[in-house]
Amino acid sequence: MKRLPGLLTQKRTVSFSEFLIERLIGLTGLSAVALVIMIFFFLIREGVPAFFEVPFSSLWSTRWYPIEDYFGLLPLIAGSALVTIGAAAIALPLGLTTAIFIAEIVPRWAREFLKPLVEVLAGIPSVVIGFMGMLVLAPMVRVALDIPTGLTAFTGMILLAWMALPTVVSVVEDVLDTVPRTYRDAGLALGMTRWQTIWRIVLPAGRSGILTALMLGVGRAIGETMTVMMVTGNAARMPYAPSDFFMSVRTMTATIAAEMGEVAQGSAHYHVLFAVGLTLFVITFLVNIAAAAMVFRQAKRSERMLS
Amino acid sequence: MFNRQIAQRIAFILISLTALLVILPIFAILGYIVAKGIGAISWEFLTSMPRNGMKEGGLLPAIVGTLLLTLGTGMIAVPIGVGAAIYLAEYAGDNALTRAIRIAIINLAGIPSVVYGLFGLGLFVIFLRFGTSILAGSLTLGIMTLPVIISTAEEALRAVPQEFRLVSTSLGGTRWQTIRRVVLPQALPGIITGIILGLERAAGETAPILFTVAAFFLPRLPSSILDQTMALPYHLFVISTQVPGMPIRIQYGTALVLLVFVLSMNVLATLIRRHYRKQRVW
């Protein structure tokens, strides 16, 4: 939107209360920046001592067993990575097809109904999804694959993918919306079928946005806590082989959530858990910055396309 | 020509099938929880204290706790969030500061909920000595909810046509009078929708309240904002993972109450949006 014309922003004599209110609004405007800095500061304050209290060789090992002071972070990082990558690999194609289905295939009345429905999915609390995962999906996985327990990385991936879908779907929908109508019309006018238009014109024109959807989906999945804690079994072990998909893993988020309630404040374990939180903060920070940069570039690009 | 039509048909069928794979489980989950949980719902279940290690009795402290936390979250997040949105939509210039604010909001929105829990523990519970309390939990949830409220409220404010502001100014209104009397009332439905959606998310969250407010089992109502309280999402987590031999009926009943609580807010937001979109004159 265009900025206000000069007249509107001109300074004029205002009452003191008005002056005060405008300063307050300015302060609230800064709140987001202040909060990000504060969160970063407190994670550093409580997390960085871990790197002095626990030798690096212990942190960089594969054994997480805090009761005996083994703080190997590798299995937690590997667990998070495994579940997140798996979830993204499932969520991206499904999100893409769901978005195409909603935006391009179904009639208008169905769209009016499906879009809020996907929002409902985003609104289901993660603890409810974890609960259903434990009681319904995990037994299904156990029986279908004939394995000793259904609480596996695979179960977590499916649920995380499903939970990341609203994010992916809405980003892809936005991308499909930004592809100019004239592009589609040109395709159809040339005698292409609707599918050919989608496949050859709409998707290529919006491909940069699909990467954004992937990154935001990853950002959503890596931070998810309750669901993974409830369905992945929480065994802190290193995944080595592809078959480990169907074994129990433990993620960084689940470790914090499960253990922070029981540690002594100020202990090495406490500091290590904050260090894990700091790592998560840095990862999501980078992922979101990258995604935002891509959205920005893409906006510029579509402006060029339209002009 | 024939082949292209067949290709289109096959592609559409495949896409529809995968989309159904996403959409049908939503119905399945909702339907399953309603079917399994409805039997547990009774007046007593909603209004009595849990008894016998939570295996009997009701959800009252958890329901009251979640209501109080949602209210507290709103009291923190609404004034700051709407203020920040007004700043971004009406005052902020196109400069480095504004860009920094936008990056900060994007990052706040992306921080994992459990990390908010850690932050709340470090700042409110320990550093400011609020202890595990409704105050600490509301502040934590409030901060987590801010980015949702800021983004939706800003969008609502920006949707108000520029002419409205011009007219108000030409009649001698100051900038704040224009915002207060013209822009805000016009944007209000959109802002309220955003607030409800933000609070909906806060009400269903478990990870941020784990170490800041939630009590495992506390069969009485809180008497001050410095008390701990039970809360529905945490309660569901507890009775489905931490208490052996929990009757399944109570688990599903709790899930149903939480789901109804959260999704009714979602429906309310959708209805408000629909209603005012129809009435809007611009």
Contacts of B241 in chain A (CB under 8 A): 134, 230
Residues B266, A256: C-beta atoms closer than 8 Å: no
Domain of B125 in residue numbering reads as 54-279
Instruction: Name the residue among A249, A250, A257 with its Cα closest to residue A277.
Output: A257
- In this complex, the residue of B94, B121, B240 whose CB is nearest that of residue A134 is B240
Does B15 reside within a domain? no
- In this complex, the residue of A32, A100, A127 whose CB is nearest that of residue B150 is A32
Does B23 reside within a domain? no
Instruction: Please tell me the total count of domains within chain B.
Output: 1
Residues B23, A117: C-beta atoms closer than 8 Å: yes
pLDDT value at residue A1? 43
Contacts of B88 in chain A (CB under 8 A): 29
Which of B9, B24, B119 is best to mutate for the A interface (most A CBs within 10 A)?
A: B119
- In this complex, the residue of A29, A135, A292 whose CB is nearest that of residue B87 is A29
CA-CA distances (angstroms) from residue B114 to A45, A231, B145, B203, B211?
17, 17, 14, 15, 9
CB contacts under 8 A, B 82-101 vs A, are 83-84, 86-88, 91-94, 100-101
Does B22 reside within a domain? no
Does B25 reside within a domain? no
pLDDT value at residue A66? 87
- What's the predicted TM-score (pTM) here? 0.91
Instruction: Name the residue among A205, A233, A256 with its Cα closest to residue A83.
Output: A233
pLDDT in tens, A234-284: 888 888 877 788 889 999 999 999 999 889 888 999 999 999 999 999 999
Q: For the residues B111-124, what does the mean pLDDT come to?
A: 95
Q: Is the pLDDT of residue B11 over 70?
A: yes
Indicate which CATH number applies to the domain containing B108: 1.10.3720.10
Does B37 reside within a domain? no
Which of B70, B78, B108, B111 is best to mutate for the A interface (most A CBs within 10 A)?
A: B111
The conformation of residue B58, written as its DSSP 8-state character, comes to -
What's the rounded Cα separation, in Å, for the pair B276 and A164?
30
The alpha carbon torsion through B260, B261, B264, B269 (nearest 10 deg) reads -150
pLDDT in tens, B128-183: 999 999 999 999 999 999 999 999 999 999 999 999 999 999 998 888 999 999 99
Q: Which two tokens stand for residue A13?
A: 């004599």
Closest A-chain CA to B139:
A35
Does B39 reside within a domain? no
- In this complex, the residue of B18, B100, B118 whose CB is nearest that of residue A33 is B100
What value, to the nearest 5°, has the Cα angle with vertex A170 and ends A167 and A176? 140
In angstroms, the separation between the Cα of residue B141 and the nearest Cα of chain A is 13
Does B82 reside within a domain? yes
In angstroms, the separation between the Cα of residue A136 and the nearest Cα of chain B is 9
pLDDT in tens, B15-71: 999 999 889 999 999 999 999 999 999 998 998 888 877 878 889 999 999 999 999
Instruction: Name the residue among A89, A201, A100 with its Cα closest to residue B11.
Output: A100
Contacts of A8 in chain B (CB under 8 A): 165-166, 169, 175
Domains of chain A: 73-306 (1.10.3720.10)
In angstroms, the separation between the Cα of residue B88 and the nearest Cα of chain A is 7
Q: What are the backbone dihedrals phi and psi of residue A200, each rounded to the nearest 5 degrees, phi first?
A: -95, -25
What's the rounded Cα separation, in Å, for the pair A92 and B75?
37
Does B201 reside within a domain? yes
Q: Which two tokens stand for residue B119?
A: 């932050």
The low-confidence residues of chain A, meaning pLDDT below 50, are: 1-2
pLDDT in tens, B172-219: 888 899 999 999 999 999 999 999 999 999 999 999 999 999 888 888
Establish if B163 touches chain A: CB-CB under 8 angstroms.
Answer: no
Residue environment code for A5-41, b if the CB has 16+ CB neighbours within 10 A, otherwise e: eeebeeeeeeeeeeeebbeebeebbebbbebbeebbe
Which of A19, A21, A31 is best to mutate for the B interface (most B CBs within 10 A)?
A: A31
Instruction: Name the residue among B77, B237, B150, B257 with its Cα closest to residue A258.
Output: B237
Closest A-chain CA to B241:
A230
Residues B259, A125: C-beta atoms closer than 8 Å: yes
